[in-house]
Amino acid sequence: MLMNSPDASDSTGFPAGEVARMLDRLARLVLRLNTPGELSLTTASTLATLDRSGPCRLTDLAARQGVTQPAMTQLVSRLQESGLAERAADPQDRRVVLVRITAAGRAALAERRRARGERLAVLLTELDEAERAALTAALPAIDALTRLLPDDAPASPGVPVPEPSRH
Amino acid sequence: MLMNSPDASDSTGFPAGEVARMLDRLARLVLRLNTPGELSLTTASTLATLDRSGPCRLTDLAARQGVTQPAMTQLVSRLQESGLAERAADPQDRRVVLVRITAAGRAALAERRRARGERLAVLLTELDEAERAALTAALPAIDALTRLLPDDAPASPGVPVPEPSRH
DNA sequence: CAACTTATATCACCTCGTTATGTATCTGTC
DNA sequence: GACAGATACATAACGAGGTGATATAAGTTG
């Protein structure tokens, strides 16, 4: 089932079609790992960015998550209503909104990670040792892969995203 | 950055929390790989199931995708409107709706796979050889992992899902 | 100061998911 | 063989999360 694809390899001699299909299935598994009431993927990802990189302009946040600015305005409003983040003013530029994670936000993020780690751990016990090892070995590659999308850089502290003029 | 997690291992000596976080980021990448107008993840996954396993009851389809029956009714209606699938009657039981992929559905699925494979291939060229190898090596494990969720079995032909009484 | 440009908000709209409920059809029992 | 309950699907009302188009306020620049 891994061998009969018509697109067995590209210029790099790599079965990109096969990988893409597998990643689709994996993404569905990740989505199905959500329990009702739990923070959604986008919500958690946004909170994680705020946790890692500190306060962030709303527009930058939107770019990093790969969503439009109106979508981020809404998301931030929901986060604010539930007390997980807050809006702050930028004294340098009164147009901007700096979004900041709250203590409750950090707690919610930690709890989500705990719960999902636990749920995933249960699934992982169903795999054999070699499969788990293969997954572990792939983590750095996955990490590298997820850093490739524009504006998704985890932003090392001190380098506040050099915004490369997107208009 | 892979070593400082507080949940470094569970009973299997495996950093499930770290893996869960990585999978979250990977899932967001997969979602961002979608271009506007393209088939969504659930839509594509449902069509893929129909393509693999042949006509299927609406309720079974819902269980396999891990969504509720009303959600599947809606999805099938959208698929039918766009001509990618169709409803058929079951002569044995006039309550059931058998959902069947159409030729157009197969074509749309193939086109989506082609386009996404291409997009992913571009990203993969940014990885080094060792990273690509690690990803390839992890594919069987990912395949095994995605088969673990209830009702998600790809249903080998001839065994029409023995529906294990879910009420 | 007028004219852009930029940052955010707001609006109308779509998709995709949920619960709760309705309707038609089967099934088992008296 | 009719009635009670279970089952398969549809419908309705809603929320979250996304889109593009557009308004508003605040910097920036000639």
Q: What is the CATH number of the domain that holds A95?
A: 1.10.10.10
By residue range, what is the domain housing residue A108?
A: 40-146
B 91-130, residues with C-beta < 7 Å of strand D: 93, 95-98
Tokens coding B144:
């095994």
In strand D, the nucleotides that come within 7 Å of a protein beta carbon are: 6-13, 16-21, 25-28
Of A7, A41, A141, the CB nearest to B24: A41
Least trusted range by pLDDT, from A151-155, B104-108, B132-136, B160-164: B160-164
Mean pLDDT for A20-30 is 92
For the segment B126-145, what is each residue's pLDDT rounded down to a tens digit?
999 999 999 999 999 999 99
**Using a CB-CB distance cutoff of 8 angstroms, which residues of chain B are in contact with residue A7?**
113-114, 117
Q: What is the pLDDT confidence band of residue B15, given thresholds at 50, 70 and 90?
A: confident
Is A29 contained in some domain? Answer: no
Domain assignment present for residue A127? The answer is yes
Which nucleotide across the nucleic acid strands is nearest to A92, CA versus C1'? Answer: D27
Q: Give chain B's mean pLDDT.
A: 83
What order do you get walking across the sheet with B97-101 strand by strand? Answer: B56-57, B97-101, B85-89
CA distance A87 to chain B (A): 25
Of all nucleotides, the one whose C1′ comes closest to residue A44's CA is D17
Handedness of CA A34, A40, B63, A22 (dihedral sign): negative
**How far apart are the CA of A154 and the nearest CA of chain B, in angstroms?**
11
- Angle between helix axes A58-65 and A69-81 (nearest 10 degrees) is 110
Band of residue A12 on the pLDDT scale cut at 50, 70, 90? low
In tens, the pLDDT along B19-34 reads 889 999 999 999 998 8
Query: Which of B12, B17, B119 minimises the CB distance to A113?
Result: B17
Chain A CB contacts of B66 under 8 Å are 28, 32
* Any domain includes A17: no
**Does residue B96 sit within a domain?**
yes
Straight-line distance from CA A158 to C1' D27, in Å? Answer: 24
Nearest nt to the A74 alpha carbon by C1'? D17
How many CA within 13 A on the CB side of residue B26?
Answer: 27
Which residue's CA lies closest to nucleotide C14 at its C1' atom?
B37
- Comparing every residue's Cα with the C1' atom of nucleotide D11, the nearest one is B70
- Provide, as residue numbers in chain A, all residues whose Cβ is less than 8 Å from the Cβ of B41: 24, 27-28, 31
Residue A95, CB, strand C, below 7 Å = yes
Rounded distance, CA B105 to CA B84, Å?
Answer: 4
Q: What is the reported pLDDT for A7? A: 46
> What was the pLDDT predicted at A143?
93
At residue A121, what are phi and psi to the nearest 5 degrees? Answer: -60, -40
| Amino acid code (one letter) for B144 | A
Helix (H, G, I), strand (E, B) or coil at B100: strand
Q: Please name the residue ranges forming H helices in B33-97.
A: 41-53, 58-65, 69-81
- Report the Cα–Cα distance between both ends of chain B, in Å, rounded: 45
What phi and psi values does residue A118 have, to the nearest 5 degrees?
-60, -50
Can you give the pLDDT at residue A8?
Answer: 47
Tokens of B2: 């892979």
Label residue B17 by pLDDT band (50, 70, 90). Answer: confident
User: How far is B110 from B106, CA to CA, in rounded Å?
Assistant: 6
What's the one-letter identity of residue A51? D
Considering CB atoms only, which of A11, A16, A138 is closest to B138? Answer: A138
Q: Give the pLDDT band of residue B101 (cuts 50, 70, 90).
A: very high
The total domain count for chain A is 1
Residue % of chain B over a pLDDT of 90: 68
Q: Can you tell me the distance from the alpha carbon of A45 to that of A67, in angstroms, rounded to the nearest whole number?
A: 12
Choose the weakest-confidence range: A7-21, A36-50, A76-90, A134-148. A7-21
Mean pLDDT value across residues B50-78: 95
Is B129 inside a domain boundary? yes
DSSP A24-43: HHHHHHHHHTPPTTSPPHHH
Q: How many CB atoms lie within 10 A of CB B167?
A: 2
Residue length, chain B?
167
Tell me the C-alpha distance between A133 and A121, whole Å: 14
Residue A81 has pLDDT above 80, yes or no: yes
pLDDT beyond 80 at A82? yes
Cβ of B76 < 7 Å from strand D?
yes
Q: For B100-116, what is the mean pLDDT?
A: 94
What CA–CA distance (Å, rounded) separates A66 from A38?
21
Report the residue of A21, A136, A145, A151 to disrupt the B interface, i.e. the one with the largest count of B CBs within 10 Å: A145
Measure the CA–CA gap between B70 and A51, rounded to whole angstroms: 37
Mean pLDDT of A118-144: 93
> Which has the closest alpha carbon to A44: A125, A130, A106, A120?
A106
